[in-house]
């Protein structure tokens, strides 16, 4: 409603009186909403790691036995992310984003109230169902709403909040576990989710298609079942004695379901994952190289927390503090990635950087209970920086030779492979450490940690062979360098 002063003012064209606000200003509330969602998800992804030893004690399981609570969340993200674009087209962005916030909040509440590991796993799956739509829908809405000239600044603002969540997560997790209760690391999401629901009703635009294409439900079921069976097989590998027959059965059925999906995807117009994109060299190299790289490094910081807390008797807060240099290194890498790609190009950068990451990963085997704090902090900073370069280069490579019309499908496939690799990377690292653990003394954890990181370094180094399949490229022009 106009104020009395405005009503008495002489009439004049609005454009003459006030400049038209930029799209970034008009959608300021939307930016805050998406930034809050990114912050909440980044915080939740990092806050749990420092609490694992304390949670394991409260739930009466071993620290390495907590891997299911971590992998179930990430695997749920991987399975459900491909459904997000179709849900937006069919139900509208406001309804999907609001439902995602509510489900994520309910999952967080259930995690905080869990009394056993199976209850926690179910609650983490519920969290993953909500979290699977937060980031994809948020990015999609910003692309639709923000002018192209202002989009990079808008995404930088949102990404900054995500990085802030990754920096504060380990610290907050360590502080809450040490001074209050591990349950609060989940319960703090509840008031944020309530505020998000209110902001969603006020600020989220409602984009949808009048006639959305039919969802590939059969293909989605094949993919989900194959992924779940592979994770079940990895969990069975940690049992004593190892049920090799059941592991073989789960793996075989998963492979058969994967083959069935390949056959199915070639016979429909809108598959849940368009495998024809793999004919583009940069796409399949980005996906395959990213898969092997993340298999080697995704579980690293869970192992480091166990090493520091269980092997070196550090407090949760100190262990959380040691995760901060890694996040700071990753932030520094984002500032440098454009210049590095301009100078080296994708092939040389990924070939060399993958080997550097593998060497730094192996360097963690030199750590022990008497290693100075500054030396551990310096190593985690360097590792975080080069790992950040690796992630950003892999994430942008997939779009390098693609037409813009395929960008949405490529983004969905990249996110799916990323989270699948993370879930199996966490499972692989904890299974290796469990197999190498000879006892439950502090020295046993230190020794198992050292051999595990050496084996993971070999897995990471193997990814360089995949990146070697890229064509020899000239250094990118400054205009062609990806902006992140």
Q: How confident is the model at residue 480 (pLDDT cuts 50, 70, 90)?
A: very low
- The answer to whether residue 13 scores a pLDDT higher than 50 is no
pLDDT of residue 111: 92
User: What value does the mean pLDDT of the chain take?
Assistant: 81
Within a domain: 148: yes
Q: How far apart are CA 331 and CA 461, in angstroms?
A: 23
Question: Within this chain, do residues 329 and 461 fall inside the same structural domain, yes or no?
Answer: yes
Q: Which two tokens stand for residue 199?
A: 């902001």
- The pLDDT value given to residue 4: 39
Let me know: does 412 contact 81? Beta carbons within 8 Å: yes
Same domain for 267 and 278, yes or no, is no
pLDDT in tens, 278-296: 888 888 888 889 888 988 8
Which residues are CB-contacts of 9 (< 8 A; sequence separation ≥ 6)? none
Residues 230, 207 share a domain: no
pLDDT at 10: 39
User: Does residue 300 carry a pLDDT above 60?
Assistant: yes
* Domain boundary residue, one of 271, 293, 318: 271
Q: Nearest CA to 189 among 103, 61, 92?
A: 103
CATH of the domain at 87: 1.20.1250.20
Answer with the one of 214, 234, 253 that is the final residue of a domain. 214
Give the separation between CA 215 and CA 36, rounded to whole angstroms: 29
416 and 278 inside one domain: yes
Q: Cβ(229)–Cβ(254) under 8 Å?
A: yes
Question: Could you tell me the two tokens for 152?
Answer: 């990079």
**pLDDT at residue 152 is higher than 80:** no
- The token pair at 108 is 């967080």
Long-range contacts: 234-237, Cβ < 8 Å, 24+? 234/71, 234/424, 234/427, 234/428, 234/431, 235/67, 235/68, 235/71, 235/427, 237/431
Asked if residue 97 and residue 31 are part of one domain, the reply reads: yes
Q: Give domain status of residue 426, yes or no.
A: yes
Does 481 have pLDDT greater than 50? no
Q: Domain containing 87: what range?
A: 27-214
Instruction: Evaluate whether residue 14 is within a structural domain.
Output: no
pLDDT tens column, 158-189: 777 777 777 777 778 888 888 888 888 888 88
Together in a domain, 175 and 310: no
Whether residues 94 and 206 fall in one domain? yes
H/E segment holding residue 52: helix 52-58
Asked, for residue 16, whether it belongs to a domain, the answer is no
Q: Which residues contact 134 (CB under 8 A, 6 or more apart)?
A: 37, 38, 40, 41, 97, 100, 101, 104
pTM of the model: 0.77
* Within a domain: 17: no
Percent share of the chain, pLDDT over 70: 87
One domain, residues 228 and 297: no
Domain contains 153: yes
d(Cα 251, Cα 234) in Å, to the nearest integer?
9
- 69, 108: one domain: yes
Residues 114 and 31 in one domain: yes
User: Could you tell me if 47 and 161 lie in one domain?
Assistant: yes
Of 384, 368, 358, 353, the residue nearest 470 (C-alpha): 353
Q: How far apart are CA 185 and CA 176, in angstroms?
A: 7
Structural domain count of the chain:
3
**Largest Cα–Cα distance of the chain, in whole Å?**
86
| In a domain? residue 22 | no
Mutual angle of helices 93-113 and 28-47, in 10-degree steps: 30
Instruction: Say if residue 260 is in the same domain as residue 337.
Output: no
Residue 229 maps to a domain: yes
Last residue of a domain, one of 187, 214, 241: 214
């Amino acid at each position: 409603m106009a104020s009395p002063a405005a009503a008495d003012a002489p009439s004049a064209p609005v454009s003459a009186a006030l400049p038209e606000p930029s799209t970034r200003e008009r959608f300021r509330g939307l930016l805050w909403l998406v930034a809050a969602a990114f912050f909440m998800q980044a915080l939740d992804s990092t806050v749990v790691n420092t609490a694992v030893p304390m949670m394991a004690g409260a739930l009466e399981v071993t620290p390495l036995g907590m891997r299911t609570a971590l992998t179930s969340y990430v695997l749920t993200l991987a399975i459900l992310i491909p459904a997000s674009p179709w849900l937006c087209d069919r139900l509208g962005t406001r309804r999907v984003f609001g439902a995602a916030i509510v489900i994520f909040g309910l999952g967080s509440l259930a995690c905080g109230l869990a009394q056993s590991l199976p209850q926690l796993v179910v609650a983490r799956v519920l969290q993953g169902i909500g979290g699977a739509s937060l980031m994809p829908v948020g990015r999609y809405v910003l692309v639709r709403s923000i002018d192209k000239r202002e989009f990079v600044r808008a995404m930088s603002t949102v990404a900054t909040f995500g990085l802030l969540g990754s920096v504060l997560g380990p610290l907050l997790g360590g502080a809450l576990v040490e001074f209050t209760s591990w349950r609060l690391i989940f319960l703090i999401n509840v008031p944020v989710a309530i505020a998000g629901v209110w902001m969603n009703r006020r600020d989220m635009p409602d984009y949808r298609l009048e006639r959305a294409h039919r969802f590939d439900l059969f293909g989605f079921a094949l993919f989900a079942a194959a992924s779940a069976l592979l994770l079940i097989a990895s969990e069975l590998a940690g049992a004593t004695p190892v049920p090799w027959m059941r592991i073989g059965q789960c793996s075989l059925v998963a492979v058969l379901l994967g083959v069935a999906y390949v056959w199915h995807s070639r016979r429909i117009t809108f598959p849940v994952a368009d495998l024809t994109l793999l004919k583009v060299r940069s796409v399949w190299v980005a996906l395959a190289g990213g898969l092997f790289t993340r298999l080697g490094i995704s579980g690293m910081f869970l192992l480091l927390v166990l090493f520091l807390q269980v092997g070196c008797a550090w407090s949760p807060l100190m262990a959380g503090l040691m995760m901060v240099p890694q996040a700071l290194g990753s932030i520094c890498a984002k500032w440098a990635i454009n210049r590095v790609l301009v100078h080296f190009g994708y092939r040389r950068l990924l070939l060399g950087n993958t080997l550097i990451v593998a060497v730094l990963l192996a360097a963690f085997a030199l750590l022990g209970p008497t290693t100075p704090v500054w030396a551990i902090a310096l190593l985690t900073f360097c590792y975080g920086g080069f790992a950040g370069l690796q992630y950003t280069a892999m994430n942008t490579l997939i779009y390098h030779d693609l037409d813009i019309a395929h960008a949405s499908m490529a983004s969905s496939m990249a996110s799916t492979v990323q989270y699948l690799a993370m879930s199996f990377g966490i499972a692989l690292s904890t299974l290796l450490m469990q197999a190498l653990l000879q006892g439950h003394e502090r020295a046993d954890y230190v020794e198992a940690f050292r051999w595990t990181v050496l084996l993971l370094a070999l897995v990471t180094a193997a990814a360089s062979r995949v990146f070697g399949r890229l064509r020899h490229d000239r250094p990118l022009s400054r205009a062609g360098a990806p902006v992140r």
